[in-house]
Amino acid sequence: MFHLRLVPADTKINFLGLRVVAFALSLLLMAGSVGVFFAQGLNFGIDFRGGILIEVRTQGPADISAMRTELSGLGLGEVSLQEFGQPTDVLIRVQRQEGDEKQQIKAIEVVKQTLGDQVDYRRTEFVGPKVGDELREAGTWAVLLAIGAILLYIWFRFEWQFGVGAVVALTHDVIATIGIFSALQLEFNLSTLAAVLTIAGYSINDTVVVFDRVRENLRKYKKEPMVQLLNRSVNNTLSRTVMTSVTTLLALFALYFLGGEVIRGFSFAMIWGVIIGTYSSIFIASPILLFLRVRREGQSQSDDAQPEAV
């Protein structure tokens, strides 16, 4: 039977030998991400800045591209449209207008005049800046609580060194993702936040696979030097890691190029997250175990210096 392998099963790549270079690159990436975030911030979407929500129903399947073209030329600022439940239902988001409530009502009337009687207006709402602030706060808490819960889970399942390594790698991925959105000034909205949380789950899944093999090899190779054991563990799981990442990226690239404007930000965040998550699982999470001196039960400091006796 033919088995597709993107990576040979018996690789012996010295990943730990590159740990200093990888840590230096990651520190530069994180410092740059934090710097650009404080310099220019994120380009928050309507979800976080507040704005107008209009739900409409068309007589047939909605031509979202044509509607987007019509509404984008009204001078109302950012306008986004997406299918909402059925092909005939469209959710229109218009950014909050400068001024009081009268300006918001005026913008709604402009949209209605443009679309005319060809659509049925099912819901019209105004999201104020207070709601946007609440969503930003809730999103921040969601990310922090997710990272904290992952730390507790890894700590419970493995040892504290594994928990710290997983959280360092996960924090690295989240900061890098936020940094690239800030640097490119891509829209950061609720779907992007969902992508960040999904990235956290994907990244920790890769890390747990590597950590599980590390724990298995700690019991199997009791006298093997730690650097060699960690390299063995990463190489053992490399084929699985690469295959999972490549197949995931194939689906994400299809979504990015063919899925339309509505999910492009989500798709981009996920593509970046899969790449950076795979990198951190190999080059960040595993070397952290070496620096934290993870040990087999009953092993002494001098045992690390002894050659392999298996």
Are 147 and 244 in a shared domain? yes
30 domain-assigned: yes
Are 58 and 96 in a shared domain? yes
Are 114 and 140 in a shared domain? no
82 domain-assigned: yes
Are 202 and 141 in a shared domain? yes
Domain final residue pick, 101, 127, 153: 127
pLDDT value at position 303?
A: 45
Q: 1 in helix, strand or coil?
A: coil
- Count of residues for the chain? 310
> pLDDT tens, 228-261?
999 999 998 888 888 889 999 999 999 998 877 6
Residue 224 structure tokens: 């093997």
309 domain-assigned: no
- Give which of 150, 282, 293 is closest to 211, Cα–Cα: 282
Domain final residue pick, 127, 147, 179: 127
Cβ contacts of 164 within 8 Å, gap of 6 or more: 151, 288, 292
- Give which of 135, 133, 111, 139 is closest to 123, Cα–Cα: 111
64 domain-assigned: yes
Are 110 and 213 in a shared domain? no
Give the domain CATH number at 69.
Answer: 3.30.70.3400
Are 203 and 94 in a shared domain? no
Domain residues for the domain of 158 are: 16-42+132-296
Give the domain CATH number at 196.
Answer: 1.20.1640.10
CB 62 within 8 A of CB 70: no
Are 219 and 99 in a shared domain? no
Cα angle value 90/185/196 (rounded, 5°): 70
Pairing of strands 119-127, 79-84: unpaired
CB 78 within 8 A of CB 94: yes
Are 146 and 259 in a shared domain? yes
Domain final residue pick, 84, 101, 127: 127
301 domain-assigned: no
pLDDT value at position 301?
A: 41
Are 82 and 117 in a shared domain? yes
Through-space distance between the first and last CA atoms of the chain, rounded to whole angstroms: 33
Are 103 and 137 in a shared domain? no
Which residue type is seen at 121? Y
Are 76 and 197 in a shared domain? no
66 domain-assigned: yes
Report the domain count for the chain: 2
Residue 22 structure tokens: 């990888």
Low-confidence ranges of the chain (pLDDT < 70): 1-7, 9, 85, 129-132, 261, 295-310
11 domain-assigned: no
5 domain-assigned: no
Are 143 and 216 in a shared domain? yes
